Amino acid sequence: MIEIRIHGRGGQGNVAAAYILASAAFQDGRHSQAFPNFGAERRGAPVTAFVRIAEQPFSRRCQVLNPAFLIVQDEALLHIPGVTDGLLAGGGILVNSTSTTELLREQTGLNIVALSANALARKILGRPVPNTALLSAFLSLTGMISIDALVKGLEQRFKGEVLDRNTQLVNEAAQLVQVGLWKEINHAANA
Amino acid sequence: MPQMLEGSQALARAVALCRPQVVAAYPITPQTHIVENISKLVADGKLHCELISVESEFSAASVVLGAAAAGSRAYTASSSQGILLMSEVLYSIAGLRIPLVLTCANRAVGAPLSIWNDQQDSMAVRDAGWIQIYCADNQEAVDATIQAYRIAERTELPVMICVDGFVLTHTLEQIEMPSQEQVDGFLPDFQFSRALNPANPISIGTLVSPDYFSEVRHSHHQALLNAQVEIQSADADWAAVSGRSGGGLLSVEGDPAAKVGILSLGSVIGTLRDALGEYPDAGPAKLIKLRTFRPFPEEALREACAGLTDLVVLERALSPGSGGIIGTEVRAAFAGRSDMPRVHNFAVGLGGRDIPLDIYPRLMAAVKSPSGASFAIFDANLDRLPEADR
Amino acid sequence: MSETTIPLSELRRKQPRFSGLESGHRACLGCGQALAARLVTESAGPDVMLANATGCLEVFTTPWPESAWRLPWLHSLFENAGAIASGMEAALKAQGKATKVIAMGGDGSTFDIGFQALSGMLERNHNVLYVCYDNEAYMNTGIQRSSSTPHAASTTTSPVGKERMGKRHLKKDIIQIIAAHNIAYAATASVAYPSDIRKKVRRALAIEGATFLQIHAPCPLGWGHDGAVSIEVARLAVQSGLFPLIELERGELTGAMPLRTPKPVSAYLKMQQRFGHLFKNDPRALEELEHLQAIADHNIEIYHLRGDGEDALDSEGADTVRRGGIRWA
């Protein structure tokens, strides 16, 4: 079972990201679950969502305490205490950031990959909504689910031109990170 | 064909499949997505019903009472403060024996103000005379909602379907939505023998003097006890249609030879189920999933507990100044009998506190070294409280 | 400038103000209600007691263990602010204290679930100022319609769809219902006119008896606009005639802010996504725009809002958010 925690701010589509990821896993024939760390949401307030993906059915509903991966939709959140709590040893952190991977690794000592998702989204979607780019990069890094399955997941939520643009975004973002870099972490966590 | 749906979304579709003619909506977290999804179905012409956005939960319950009394299948949903505000109407609905279905998206009751999940709200109205069914996952919630209309209309008792707020309502998971044909085949058109009708006028809700009251109460109480039959047959018949059973009144899983049982209800069952597998050394244990709380299935409970030396009753509410609610009723089911297990009664996850997987080994350890207290809030961190408050 | 001259901007900055609501609360960017609550409590001063209904305000100001209030404050339920305030007022009266009670609720609480308690409070003429922060929907629970939601607005329970163009019913005319209780003072106000709010709060608090203030307060999330333009949106609501600023005493109209040049309702509506469907190519949309313009025109007529010429107190002059307006200290 792979457990993922997604950290974002209210208004960034944190819950949507979790739902899309879980849907993509389902399209790929897995069992999955997604839910937010419910709260009285306010635009800009830190929010968290959880995703579980497994080969076999499962029924637990507790919060994800030991994620194998974190997706951080806003790099300022990296500095909030508790964001990296419970991350499995060697776990990967994908951060929406304008800094480079090398710089962030140096600064934090964490197993980070940076993606300038806002800029990419602004370019293709016209709005700095980082989700689809981040999800695509995440799948590219881990190899856990095919990009096609992600696109199928998007088809559940978008259509027409919005779907086309998001598909384009997905394809571009997948190439911007080192494909398969986290394959090992993925396998180890799934064992 | 299974699909990934948010719990609320699935529930809204289940309600739509039952073809209600009147839906009353008043928003309260975490039930909001249910009524929002229904609103969208109506706005898109996919559900034809009178959707009434009322001005309070008290009115929501009153609207559906009036609608059912006037001969229409009706629906509403609420949580927490809303359930409490409509409680007077809930007593009225049940006492008048009006067939209705209501979703309670379980949430803690203030004060203190909390929007998070526990079951104090539905427990607070356990004496109102409604049937109460608790769902362990969203598939069960969908199936139970459909069954509920049949149960309500056959027993002339209102049914409250309890679904843990946020934990179920806001979780995206795999659900198999039944087809309209399946539901139409299972649920006939709304039938209410005492619906108001100018062609055959009757008076509903009259003043009942001491000369008659006790018999009316007996009749209601007996109807609830008898409803156990209808609840089980609805589940069995729906299983024949859908291939899925919710477990009737209650169901048992885990090690059949175990001497320790854990009884609980609602979504925590899912976590406990996985935990039994994750911590094999903590067991062996039986998991007893209570599905029907009202009527309280005494006989089925005693059967399920046969051979147990210890029974953990894990609940999501309490009666301050007394202790556990379900625990107290479980003990009463065994009162004066020789087959009573040692009952370890705990409340957990109050106000939405997360219940992690390791609750299971910790509960099993507590069984081995009981504190002697008849009830405790298991996951309260007493160190945070001043000495005098512990 | 000589050493004895102080620039007005600096004087204003140094002007002592009572702060009843501190910063650091969790409101969204551009929240109209947060601004309104700050203005109300500033003008009220320290000798007040607050009864706050459930809603955004109490949630974003009091996340345990913090509170943003510097005034005695109580939240109980969604529907009872009017009754809680009545009880507070009765106690203070029995104790012979002059502390004034202010009840606060959103439109959901005031127009809908708490209306009964409010009506009772007004009928018994408790010495309470009731402030309604009107953002036109149940925002705290995620943008569901209330009876204050304007006609044709899209909310999650009055969504736009094949068979619907948003909310079917009209915005409840709460101020007239309140005025029909014959109380000494009932008024509408808007966060785009902060000095007007201050003036009306002080006026109301000086009265012995029940008073009511409805403050129009944009919700960027619920209305669908950027937080940075909340004031502009609120101003257009007033200038279009859709939200007239009026005063009613014992049921009679005694004051109204004239509109120097009424703006077309479309100028107001097109700034908000909740009315976005009215600007699509749809014949129903044109019909709804006409309805809304008719509502505005009707307000302008019955409240005699059409100003003649320039007036320092009209919708352009009274505006102190922009330069050059009149300040009511």
What's the pLDDT tens digit per position in B3-21? 999 999 999 999 999 999 9
- Is C79 an interface residue toward B (CB < 8 Å)? yes
**pLDDT band (50, 70, 90) for residue C204:** very high
B267 neighbourhood in chain A, CB within 8 Å: 61
Is residue C188 predicted with pLDDT exceeding 90?
yes
Q: What is the DSSP string of B123-166?
A: HHTTTSS-EEEE-SSHHHHHHHHHHHHHHHHHHT--EEEEEETT
- pLDDT (tens digit per residue) in B334-353: 999 999 999 999 999 999 99
Residue-level pLDDT at C308: 82
Instruction: Nearest chain B residue to A38 by CA: give it.
Output: B166
Is residue B98 predicted with pLDDT exceeding 60?
yes
**pLDDT band (50, 70, 90) for residue C306:** very high
B356 neighbourhood in chain A, CB within 8 Å: 62-63, 65
Identify the H or E element spanning B78. strand B74-78
Assess contact for C84 and C76: CB atoms under 8 A.
Answer: yes
Residue-level pLDDT at C2: 60
- pLDDT (tens digit per residue) in B353-384: 999 999 999 999 999 999 999 999 999 999 99
Q: Hey, how many other C-beta atoms are within 10 angstroms of the C-beta on C286? A: 12
Instruction: Report ipTM for this prediction.
Output: 0.93
CATH class of the region B250-389: alpha beta
Give the angle subtended at the CA of C206 by the CAs of C204 and C210, to the nearest 5°.
Answer: 50
Name the CATH topology of B2-242: Rossmann fold (3.40.50)
User: What residue ranges define each of the domains in chain A, with the CATH number in brackets?
Assistant: 2-190 (3.40.920.10)
**pLDDT band (50, 70, 90) for residue C78:** very high
Asked, colleague to colleague, whether B2-242 and B250-389 share their fold, the answer is yes
C60 neighbourhood in chain A, CB within 8 Å: 40, 42
Would you call C308 helix, strand, or coil by DSSP? coil
Among candidate residues B249, B254, B284, B248, the one with its CA nearest the CA of residue B269: B254
Average pLDDT, rounded, for chain B? 96
Among candidate residues B107, B41, B118, the one with its CA nearest the CA of residue B78: B107
Instruction: Nearest chain A residue to C29 by CA: give it.
Output: A43
Identify the H or E element spanning C128. strand C128-134
Residues within 8 A of B (CB atoms), A 36-55 only = 36, 38-40
Residue-level pLDDT at C326: 47
Is residue C4 predicted with pLDDT exceeding 90?
no
B44 neighbourhood in chain C, CB within 8 Å: 161-163
Which residue type, as a one-letter code, is found at position C151? H
Here the tokens at position A27 are 């399209």
Would you call A54 helix, strand, or coil by DSSP? strand
- pLDDT (tens digit per residue) in C134-184: 999 999 999 999 999 999 999 999 999 999 999 999 999 999 999 999 999
- Measured CA to CA, the distance from residue C193 to residue C235 in angstroms comes to 8
B12 neighbourhood in chain C, CB within 8 Å: none
Report CB contact under 8 Å: A43, C60.
no
Residue-level pLDDT at B199: 87
Average pLDDT over residues B30-59: 94
Average pLDDT over residues B186-202: 92
Burial class (CB in 10 A: 0-12, 13-18, 19+), C15: exposed
Provide CB contacts within 8 A for B152, sequence distance 6+: B99, B100, B101, B131, B158, B159
Instruction: Nearest chain B residue to C55 by CA: give it.
Output: B28
**pLDDT band (50, 70, 90) for residue C98:** very high
Interface test with B, best of C156, C172, C284 (most B CBs within 10 A): C156
Residue-level pLDDT at C323: 45
- Is B6 an interface residue toward A (CB < 8 Å)? yes
- pLDDT (tens digit per residue) in B237-257: 999 999 999 999 999 999 999
Residue-level pLDDT at B304: 97
Average pLDDT, rounded, for chain A? 92
Residue-level pLDDT at A189: 84
Residue-level pLDDT at C186: 98
Instruction: Nearest chain B residue to A40 by CA: give it.
Output: B115
User: What residue ranges define each of the domains in chain C, with the CATH number in brackets?
Assistant: 19-302 (3.40.50.970)
Report CB contact under 8 Å: B43, C112.
no
Task: Kindly list the domain boundaries of chain B, sorted by start residue.
Answer: 2-242, 250-389
Give chain B's radius of gyration (CA, Å): 21
Q: How far is B263 from chain C (nearest CA, A)?
A: 33
Q: Collect the ranges in chain A with pLDDT lower than 50.
A: none
